[in-house]
Amino acid sequence: MIRKVKTLLLHFPNYKQASFYGFILALLLIVLRQLELHFLLINHLFELYTAGIAVIFTGLGIWLAVKLTKPAKEIVTIEKERFVDPDPFEIDQNELARLGISKREIEVLQLIAQGLSNEEIADKLFISVSTVKTHSVKLFDKMDVRRRTQAIEKAKRLKIIA
Amino acid sequence: MIRKVKTLLLHFPNYKQASFYGFILALLLIVLRQLELHFLLINHLFELYTAGIAVIFTGLGIWLAVKLTKPAKEIVTIEKERFVDPDPFEIDQNELARLGISKREIEVLQLIAQGLSNEEIADKLFISVSTVKTHSVKLFDKMDVRRRTQAIEKAKRLKIIA
DNA sequence: TTTTCCATCATACTTTAGTTTGATTTTTTA
DNA sequence: TAAAAAATCAAACTAAAGTATGATGGAAAA
């Protein structure tokens, strides 16, 4: 009998408390048995009946509690950062085509924007300073500017360099 | 009858429903008492005893369930999107302070970055070209560059100009 | 109050940038 | 294939940028 209750109780998370409950149940049964002596009319079946009632209604109580207890709601708020348009820079090819700027001229323009002097650009591109100057002149003419600093500003504004 | 009780119960908080279950038992007892008239053999005490056992063990069951079972948690996740400005440009005042660049020098730097010549800058600031050059020299010295184009590139990189 | 920093200007000079003219070679395109 | 466009280079020049030195007046800090 007690074992049966115990096995039933094994399904509960806290095993120790469950067995404690079983112990109480056992005690109760013993007390009932003592009482039985005073009530001779009650036979052995009565014990079983009582135990049965106890088990059934314990089960009912548990079922009730589990069924009717509302699950505690835990609200977790997750803040998600979403970067809107992380500036996907793209060179405006249309603008380049419109101005008729050649590849070499763009190269020179980019190096100018990086702060290099004509001589440094010449060294980097393995050409003479004269050629760099020629490219510059044509570039400035196409971009309608007269200084490299203006070219830098306008080029960035028109998105023809990074 | 039972349906009515059930619908009634649905509107009560769970912990109160448990006690209402006791109320149902009481009703049951009354019914039993009615039946008692037909079954004289059944002892009055026995009824009460059974009812008592039922109530006690139901209570125990509820107590057990509440005590031993972890309340089922329903995790409600709310996703909140936070839109972040991709490039909230801000002049790096620390950098400016670190380099010890004066207000006038910044002004000149900004105009240089806009592609203006020294003469144009002088006209705009109502100062002489000499002064512009002086500012430039000090600026380049502080920024550790030797050309205005370099100054532009570095200034933008260090975020001391837009 | 004296020193330091900032802003201003000038002169003379060097360096770099930009212009003009003209030429050659290669690559692309009609 | 011939013409156009692109890339290359050079010399001579002008213009602009940058350097060096020195000076002055005002404002802020020590």
CA nearest neighbour of B157 among B99, B118, B105, B116: B99
Q: Which of residues 62-91 of B touch A (CB under 8 A)?
A: 62-87
The angle formed by the CA atoms of residues A18, A74 and A16, to the nearest 5 degrees, is 10
Q: Does residue A85 lie within any of the structural domains?
A: no
Residues by CB within 7 A of strand D: list them.
A 100, 102-105, 125, 127-128, 130-131, 133-135, 147, 149; B 117-119, 130, 133-134, 136-137, 140, 146-149
Same domain, A148 and A102: yes
Looking at chain B, list the stretches that DSSP marks H as alpha helix, in order from N- to C-terminal side.
Answer: 2-10, 14-36, 44-68, 93-99, 103-113, 118-125, 129-143, 148-157
Same domain, A146 and A98: yes
Same domain, B56 and B21: yes
Q: Does residue B6 lie within any of the structural domains?
A: yes
Contact between B64 and A12 using a beta-carbon 8 Å cutoff = yes
**The total number of structural domains that make up chain B:** 2
Same domain, A152 and A108: yes
* pLDDT value at residue B7: 43
Same domain, B50 and B98: no
Q: Does residue B52 lie within any of the structural domains?
A: yes
Q: Does residue B87 lie within any of the structural domains?
A: no
Question: What are the DSSP calls for A61-77, one per residue?
Answer: HHHHHHHHSPPEEEEEE
CATH number, domain containing residue A151: 1.10.10.10
Per-residue pLDDT of B1-36, as tens digits, reads: 444 444 443 444 454 555 665 666 677 767 756 665
Per-residue pLDDT of B136-161, as tens digits, reads: 999 999 999 999 999 999 999 999 99
Same domain, A57 and A111: no
Of B54, B60, B116, the CB nearest to A53: B54
Distances (CA, A) of A116 to A4, A20, A112, B152, B153: 91, 86, 5, 11, 10
Q: Does residue A37 lie within any of the structural domains?
A: yes
The angle formed by the CA atoms of residues A40, A42 and A45, to the nearest 5 degrees, is 140
Q: Does residue A8 lie within any of the structural domains?
A: yes
Whether pLDDT at B66 is above 90: no
Per-residue pLDDT of A24-71, as tens digits, reads: 677 777 776 666 555 555 456 777 777 888 888 888 888 888 877 777
Å between CA of A154 and C1' of D26: 39
Q: Does residue B51 lie within any of the structural domains?
A: yes
Same domain, A116 and A64: no
The mean-pLDDT minimum among A8-22, A69-83, A120-134, B145-159 falls in A8-22
Confidence of residue A84 (pLDDT cuts 50, 70, 90): confident
B38 lies in which domain range?
2-68
Q: Name the residue closest to D19, CA to C1'.
A: B137
Same domain, A63 and A98: no
* pLDDT value at residue A155: 97
* pLDDT value at residue A11: 47
* pLDDT value at residue B33: 65
> Which of B52, B68, B84 marks a domain boundary?
B68
How far is residue A44's CA from residue A117's CA, in Å, rounded to a whole number?
112
How far is residue B98's CA from residue B85's CA, in Å, rounded to a whole number?
27
Q: Does residue B83 lie within any of the structural domains?
A: no
> A119 to chain B: which residues are within 8 Å by CB?
none
